[in-house]
Amino acid sequence: MSKPRVLITRKIFPEWIDEVKSVADVDLWEDELPPSREILLEKSKGIDGILCLLTDKIDSEFMDNAGSQLKVISQIAVGFDNIDISEATNRGIPVGNTPDVLTATTADATWALLMSAARRITESERFVRRGDWKTWHPLHFLGQDIHSATIGIIGMGRIGFEVAKRANGFGMKILYYDTNRRKDLEEKLDMEYVDFNTVLTDSDYVSLHTVLSEETYHLIGESEFKKMKKTSILVNAARGPVVDSQALYNALKNGDIWGAGLDVTDPEPISKDDPLLKLENCVIVPHIASATVKTRFEMSKISAQNLINGITGEPLVTCVNPEVY
Residue 113 binds ligand DGY (CB under 6 A): no
Q: Per CB under 6 A, which region of 15-23, 73-81, 162-170, 188-196 contacts ligand DGY?
A: 73-81
Residue 323 and residue 198: Cα distance in Å, rounded? 36
* CA–CA dist 181, 194 (Å, integer): 9
| Spatial CB neighbours of 238, under 8 Å, sequence gap ≥ 6 | 155, 208, 209, 210, 211, 212, 264
Would you count residue 290 as binding ligand DGY (CB under 6 A)? yes
Minimum separation from the CB atom of position 79 to ligand DGY (A): 3
Which residue, 44 or 290, is less far from ligand DGY as judged by CB? 290
Type of residue found at 36: S
Cβ-Cβ contacts under 8 Å for 224 (sequence gap 6 or more)? 200, 247
Question: Which of residues 290 and 306 has its CB atom nearest to ligand DGY in the complex?
Answer: 290
Which residue of 6, 47, 52, 77 would you call a contact of ligand DGY, by CB under 6 A? 77
Rounded to a whole number of angstroms, the minimum distance from the CB of residue 83 to ligand DGY is 11
Q: Of the ranges 33-41, 71-79, 148-156, 168-176, which one interacts with ligand DGY (CB under 6 A)?
A: 71-79
**Smallest distance, ligand DGY to C-beta of residue 211, A:** 9
Q: Cβ closer to ligand DGY: 50 or 228? A: 50
One-letter amino acid at 320 equals V
Of the pair 243, 251, the CB lying nearest ligand DGY is at 243
- Whole-number Å distance between alpha carbons of 309 and 238: 28
CB under 8 Å to 33, separation ≥6 — which residues? none
What is the DSSP-derived secondary structure letter of residue 138?
Answer: T
Among 102, 146, 164, 185, binds ligand DGY (CB under 6 A): 102
How many residues can be counted in the chain? 325
Which span (5-13, 75-83, 127-135, 162-170) binds ligand DGY, by CB under 6 A?
75-83
Longest Cα–Cα distance of the chain, Å, equals 75
Is 239 in the active site?
yes
SS3 of residue 145 by DSSP: coil
Residues 6+ apart with CB under 8 A from 291: 105, 109
Catalytic one of 10, 209, 287, 296: 287
Size of the site for ligand DGY (CB under 6 A): 5
Is 79 near ligand DGY (CB under 6 A)?
Answer: yes
- Radius of gyration of the CA atoms of the chain, in A: 21
**Is residue 107 near ligand DGY by the rule CB under 6 A?**
no
DSSP letter assigned to residue 134? -
Is 37 part of the annotated catalytic residue set?
no
Say whether 130 is catalytic.
no
Give the binding site for ligand DGY (CB under 6 A). 77-79, 102, 290
- State the catalytic residues: 239, 268, 287
